[in-house]
Amino acid sequence: MSQASHAWRRRTLLGGLALPALAHAQPAASPWPDRPVRLIVPFGAGGAIDTLSRTVANAFPALANGQALVVENRAGAGGTIAGAVVASARPDGATLMMADLSPNAIGRELQPSLGYDPMRAFTPICHLINLPLVLLAPMALPVTDLPGFLDLARRRGDMVYAHPGIGYIGHLAQELLLRRTGLTMTPVPYRSGAEVARSLLAGETSSSIITVSTSLPFIREGKLRPLAVAGRQRHPFLPDVPTIAEAGGPALAGFEAQGWHGIMAPAGLPEPLVEAANRIFNAALRQPEVARVIEQTQASQIVGGSPADFAAFLQAEHARWAPLIQAAGIRTE
């Protein structure tokens, strides 16, 4: 791991959602789990969130009385199919969810007829990771940086941007960028970050904000141009790429957007089970293979922390994105 990666990880672990000191601790004796646990994943097999889920699941038995964490993929409807499954499950510790922004924080804004309230239907357990995002452009687009891109968009007025699905973080981040700068672009939805990258490579679209992990191979091969990263700090794998807040001028001061995943349970999970689950998932984040997949393969940041930390983060995400969704009239139905 590079020196920059070490420093980046250290800043994350020592920040506001720092992990408890559990590197060598085993979970204390508890009634949970005493049987296999289902982990409902809101996306299909083979993607980044599925890889993360299965990596955590591999580490789970050694930390959890030998019990298995069984990954169950329930893709569709922006993650709300999985959300509905978990929201209606018994709060007994047998069913958990790999949480994501849409099904667990803003689903009601995106889909007013949603049959559950994302802010009331779940018990936050543990914030696992943050996924940095990057604004990309095709190499053929005549710009080399964010100011040039914004100027071109202002002059042309007919540019199109790609996103990996209505209401997904890449979609919301680009809409935030446009609203903050007063620009207009036409959104084109795709089914995944990989499809978005292909649209940029083919010149079908002019820009997109997707995860660093999805775009990094194309950036390294010189096939896509990174204009700015969307986080509050530069990414260690892209040290020469400024943040949107750095490069975007006063209109974009303080700009920040990121993907994230965590662990949720149905609402009403008893406190002893919440504490036991939180302890186990924090310990899982300390396992070398889990950390390697998160930090190297997925170019993401380990977070961890308490259930209260995760609950506060979810409230902040809802407060950040719900007004944008309402103002822009973004709907998935």
pLDDT in tens, 230-248: 999 999 999 999 999 999 9
Q: What is the signed CA dihedral for 311, 177, 223, 154, rounded to 10 degrees?
A: 180
pLDDT for the residue 192: 87
CA atoms within 13 A on the CB side of 29: 0
Q: Is the pLDDT of residue 12 over 90?
A: no
Is 227 strand, coil or helix?
A: strand
**DSSP annotation of 77:** G
Q: Which comes out higher in pLDDT, residue 4 or 258?
A: 258
Q: In the sheet that 207-211 helps form, which strands lie side by side, from edge to edge?
A: 186-189, 160-163, 207-211, 133-138, 224-229
Q: Is the pLDDT of residue 23 over 50?
A: no
Rounded Cα gap, residues 106 and 79, in angstroms: 11
pLDDT in tens, 199-208: 999 999 999 9
Closest CA relative to residue 49, chosen from 176, 196, 174, 169? 169
In the 3-class helix/strand/coil scheme, how is 51-96 assigned residue by residue?
Answer: HHHHHHHHHHHHHCCCCCEEEEECCCHHHHHHHHHHHCCCCCCCEE
Over residues 36-40, mean pLDDT: 98
Closest CA relative to residue 115, chosen from 319, 264, 333, 265? 333
Rounded Cα gap, residues 288 and 310, in angstroms: 23
Q: Which amino acid is at 186?
A: T
pLDDT in tens, 66-120: 999 999 999 988 899 999 999 999 999 999 999 999 999 999 999 999 999 999 9
Rounded Cα gap, residues 157 and 163, in angstroms: 18
In this prediction, residue 47 has a pLDDT band, given cuts at 50, 70 and 90, of: confident
Rounded Cα gap, residues 162 and 205, in angstroms: 6
Q: In the sheet that 122-131 helps form, which strands lie side by side, from edge to edge?
A: 69-73, 37-41, 95-99, 259-266, 122-131, 301-302
pLDDT in tens, 150-201: 999 999 988 999 999 999 999 999 999 999 999 999 999 998 888 999 999 9
Q: Which two tokens stand for residue 41?
A: 């994943």
Tokens 């149905």 locate to 266
pLDDT for the residue 9: 53
Rounded Cα gap, residues 284 and 60, in angstroms: 7
Q: Lowest-pLDDT range, 25-34, 69-78, 246-255?
A: 25-34
Average pLDDT for the chain:
91
Work out whether the CA dihedral 93, 98, 102, 106 comes out positive or negative. Answer: positive
Q: Which two tokens stand for residue 204?
A: 């079908």
Tokens 């009239």 locate to 329
| Chain CA centroid to CA 124, Å | 15
Closest CA relative to residue 276, chosen from 50, 60, 83? 60
In this prediction, residue 48 has a pLDDT band, given cuts at 50, 70 and 90, of: confident
pLDDT for the residue 273: 97
Rounded Cα gap, residues 128 and 304, in angstroms: 5
pLDDT for the residue 7: 46
Q: Which two tokens stand for residue 122?
A: 């779940």
Q: Is the pLDDT of residue 42 over 60?
A: yes
pLDDT for the residue 28: 46
Q: Residues of the chain with pLDDT > 90: what percent?
A: 85
Q: Which two tokens stand for residue 3?
A: 């020196």
Task: Spell out the residues 6+ positions from residue 272 whose beta carbon is closer than 8 angstroms to its own.
Answer: 30, 31, 32
Over residues 306-311, mean pLDDT: 98
